[in-house]
């Protein structure tokens, strides 16, 4: 059994504590605690607005799903997937296949480690998996910003297009089932004061 296969088998058998997630990426297995009140409020607002936007399209928001690509598994804060999630279920029942996910969202945990994980590690993971749209909501990005990444280059392991929209302005999803969805001040709030 290769080291990658051993790591995969270990990840599959980890008992995940409540309010945590365990992911496997190029850096190995990572355990992270799921956010606090602000993180939950933004996530809930985003999910509710996305649900309304996607009504009767055959797509909807989800959370708590590991996105599987090869022997890697990353769990976004929010994702857009088909209403019939069984059509993209991982054969082992471990999550959903990245090939069927239209959009992922990460709400950055306020720390250097959280910013690195969402802006660097997960950027690389989602681009490599070919996720069409990756949205990063970051309170600590110069007063707050929504970054929308599109056009994944799986070979280069990066997104070709990036738009950074400061809090207080409207960030528009440019493609996919959520095309036209706006992430604005009613979800993120206005620009935040720098400390």
Q: pLDDT tens for residues 4-35?
A: 888 788 888 888 777 777 888 877 888 777 77
pLDDT band at 194 (very low <50, low <70, confident <90, very high): low
Whether residue 185 is predicted with pLDDT greater than 60 in this model: the reply is: yes
**pLDDT value at position 193?**
65
Identify the CA nearest to 104 among candidates 66, 140, 58, 142: 66
Q: Where is average pLDDT lowest: 6-10, 65-69, 82-86, 151-155?
A: 6-10
For the segment 158-182, the average pLDDT, to the nearest whole number, is 97
Percent of the chain with pLDDT over 90: 70
- Protein fold of 35-188: tt1808, chain A (3.90.1570)
- Kindly report which listed range (26-30, 37-41, 73-77, 84-88) carries the lowest average pLDDT score: 26-30
Q: Report the pLDDT averaged over residues 120-128.
A: 96
Which range is least confidently modeled, 37-41, 85-89, 128-132, 145-149? 37-41
77: tokens are: 């804060």
List the structure tokens of 48.
Answer: 């509710």
């Amino acid at each position: 059994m290769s080291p990658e296969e051993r790591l995969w088998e270990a990840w599959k058998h980890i008992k995940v504590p409540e309010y945590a997630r365990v992911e496997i990426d190029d850096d190995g297995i990572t355990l992270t605690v799921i956010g606090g009140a602000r993180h939950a409020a933004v996530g809930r607002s985003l999910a509710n607005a996305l649900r309304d936007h996607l009504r009767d399209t055959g797509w909807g928001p989800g959370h708590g799903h590991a996105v599987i690509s090869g022997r890697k598994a990353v769990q976004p804060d929010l994702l857009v997937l088909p209403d019939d999630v069984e059509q993209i279920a991982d054969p082992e029942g471990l999550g959903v296949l990245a090939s069927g996910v239209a959009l992922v969202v990460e709400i950055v945990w306020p720390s250097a480690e959280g910013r690195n994980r969402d802006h660097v590690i997960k950027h690389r993971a989602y681009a490599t998996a070919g996720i069409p749209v990756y949205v990063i909501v970051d309170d600590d990005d110069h007063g707050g910003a929504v970054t929308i990444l599109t056009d994944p280059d799986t070979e280069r392991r990066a997104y070709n297009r990036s738009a950074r929209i400061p809090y207080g302005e409207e960030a528009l999803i440019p493609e996919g089932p959520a095309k036209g969805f706006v992430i604005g001040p009613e979800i993120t709030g206005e620009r935040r004061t720098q400390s």
